[in-house]
Amino acid sequence: MHPENGTNESGEVAKLYGEFETWSVNLGDRTIHAKRMPGFFRRVKNLTQSALWLPFFLLPYLRWNGQQAILFDIEDRQFHLFSLSVLPQDIWMLSLVLLVAAMTLFAVTSVASRVWCGYLCFQTVWTDVFTWLESKIEGNPNARRKLDEAPWSLDKLRKKALKHFSWMLVALFTGITFSIWFVDAFEYWAALVRLQLPLVGWVVLAMFFLGTYILGGLLREQACFWLCPYARIQAVMIDSQTILPTYDKQRGEPRGKVRHGSDAAEKKTGDCIDCYQCVQVCPTAVDIRQGQQLGCITCGLCIDACDSVMDKVNRPHGLIRYASLDEISGKPAKKMYQHPRTWVYIGIILIALGGIVWGLTHMGTMTLKVIHERQPLFVSMSDGSIQNKYEFKVVNKTGKDFRVSVTAESGIPGQVIVTAENNPNLRHGHGTAFTIFVKAPLAGITAEVTPIEFYLRSVDDPAMFAEYTSQFYGPKR
């Protein structure tokens, strides 16, 4: 760990040693300034994070039939997805969506470790964007470390102010973007520039502004280390069959410095030249050579770094590579189908997806609830008949208003329905309540409680239909 500064080091490889020579456990007591290097995993990461998060910023502006295409309309309690509208009555499907998301996370993690953390997670992505801004303003990691240690000067103040300002812009835009998934994007902007957001709008914006700035700019990898529960959850999803960025100990050890003029034949050390490039590029500043650890978000950037070094010293790629623990320890690799846990996850995903498809195709046109009046349970009328009162609550889930007729079936002879209002009109996208009385001659009532089935039909389209079972109460028998 404490390199002797040999006098005979020179050239490109030797320069690497000068960049970063020690490593200690990341306790969060100093800022991590990770080096940015081009490479395969950097390209993958750029692609995956853009693919997930650019739509987050852009989709709210997409229009569909004159309305926002995707809108979680909290105020009107509706969820719009293109021409589909989901009302709270069908929100149970959301739990299945969440189940699919969780199980996908589990399945992917069991196969390829923390893919979410490394390539997709907002914490990783925003930290990446923030450090990119930092590198544009303050220069490379060495320059940044020097600037941090330097006394305050006008130049330092300018750079720091510019950096924090740019972070705050990103944070502000993040807060705005989050908000416009829940209210109309253009209306939100219009209200924002006039400073006329409602209080809840300001609070949400402030929370996301501060959250993004603090988590992405200041806490960074410390959030993954100490705040994030998924880091822990995903860690236990990993087993010896899971592939993850791994240092090939067999090949790398004992590590040793490359000496100028050394011959391949005299080489007594492993392939690891102990250049710390893998640590230097790590956004969480872990040493992958210490094995699998909680701080590793499996982003693969160390693989890029190591491969580039291997190129320079003419050794084969893959000293650090995606490999399972089985592979590294020389056990025969099991096939994918021998990983039953993954199949359980996939099974649950398929069941949940089936539920969502069923739900979306069976949403129906109306949700009907019938509440029997409890006080009084029944009324004796002047002609000796018994009358019950029911409160109907109907949600019209279609896109237009329509009128409905009510019928009932209880098996009591002579039973009639008395309504105050005939064929009530149901407003679309809303709940409508109305009262229905059911009257039946005492002679026909054989039990204190008789089940009664209510049918609600659209006047225009009998296929639009809902039913509900309630009770008809009479005197004690």
Partner 1 sequence: MSDKHSAGEVPTTGHVWDDDLGDFTNQPPKWWMLGLTASALWCVAYALYYPMIPVSSSSIFSKGLGGWTAISEMEADKSKVDVVRSKFENKLKDMTPAAILADRELTEYVTRSGKVLFGDNCAPCHGPNGVGTKDKNALFAPILNDDDWLYGGKIDDIHTSIAGGRKGVMIANKDLLSEAELDTLAKAVAAGKPTSTPLFTEKGCVACHGPDGKGMAAMGSANLTDSVWRFDNSVEGIKQTIRYGVNSGDPKARIAVMPAFKAAGKLSDVELKKLAVYVYKFGGGKPDQVAEAPAAAAPAAATPVAEAPAAK
Binding site for partner 1 (CB under 8 A): 24-25, 27, 290, 293, 373, 375-376, 379-384, 387, 389, 405-423, 433, 435, 437-438, 444, 459
Smallest separation, CB 278 to partner 1 (Å):
17
Choose between 24 and 95: whose C-beta lies nearer to partner 1: 24
**Is the Cβ of residue 49 or residue 396 nearer to partner 1 in the bound state?**
396
Would you say 338 or 423 has its CB closer to partner 1? 423
Residue 363 C-beta-side C-alpha neighbours within 13 Å: 19
Least spacing, CB of residue 371 vs partner 1, in Å: 14
Question: Least separation, in Å, of the C-beta of 439 and partner 1?
Answer: 8
Query: Shortest distance, CB of residue 472 to partner 1, whole angstroms?
Result: 11
**DSSP letter at 460?**
S
Q: Is 51 exposed, middle or buried (0-12, 13-18, 19+ CB in 10 A)?
A: exposed
Whole-angstrom Cα distance, residue 348 to residue 101?
11
Q: Are 282 and 128 in contact (CB under 8 A)?
A: no
Beta strands in 133-252 (DSSP E): 243-247
Q: In this complex, which beta carbon is closest to partner 1, that of residue 111 or of residue 466? A: 466
- Residue whose CB is less far from partner 1, 316 or 451: 451
457 has which bridge partners?
A: 405, 465
Q: Are 450 and 471 in contact (CB under 8 A)?
A: yes
Smallest gap from residue 407 Cβ to partner 1 (A)? 6
- Copy the structure tokens of residue 211: 């959250």
SS3 95: helix
Nearer to partner 1, 39 or 474 (CB): 474
- Name the phi and psi angles at 147, rounded to 5: -65, -40
Q: How open is the CA angle 18-22-27, to the nearest 5 degrees?
A: 140
Of 338 and 380, the one with the shorter C-beta distance to partner 1 is 380
Nearer to partner 1, 56 or 434 (CB): 434
Between 274 and 307, whose beta carbon lies closer to partner 1? 274
Query: With the CA atoms of 280, 281, 287 and 293 taken in that order, what torsion angle do they form, in degrees rounded to the nearest 10?
Result: 150
Q: How far is the CB of 440 from partner 1 (least distance, A)?
A: 9
**Residue 319 corresponds to which amino acid?**
L
CB of 250 to partner 1, least distance (A): 22
Cα end-to-end distance, the chain, whole Å = 92
| Beta bridge partners of residue 86, listed in sequence order | 79
| Cβ 466 to partner 1 shortest distance, Å | 16
Q: Tokens for 149?
A: 């240690």
**Least gap, CB of 418 to partner 1 (angstroms):** 6
What are the C-alpha distances in Å from 17 to residues 39, 274, 277, 321, 350?
A: 20, 8, 9, 22, 51
Q: Which amino acid is at 221?
A: E
Distance CA 123, CA 128 (A): 8
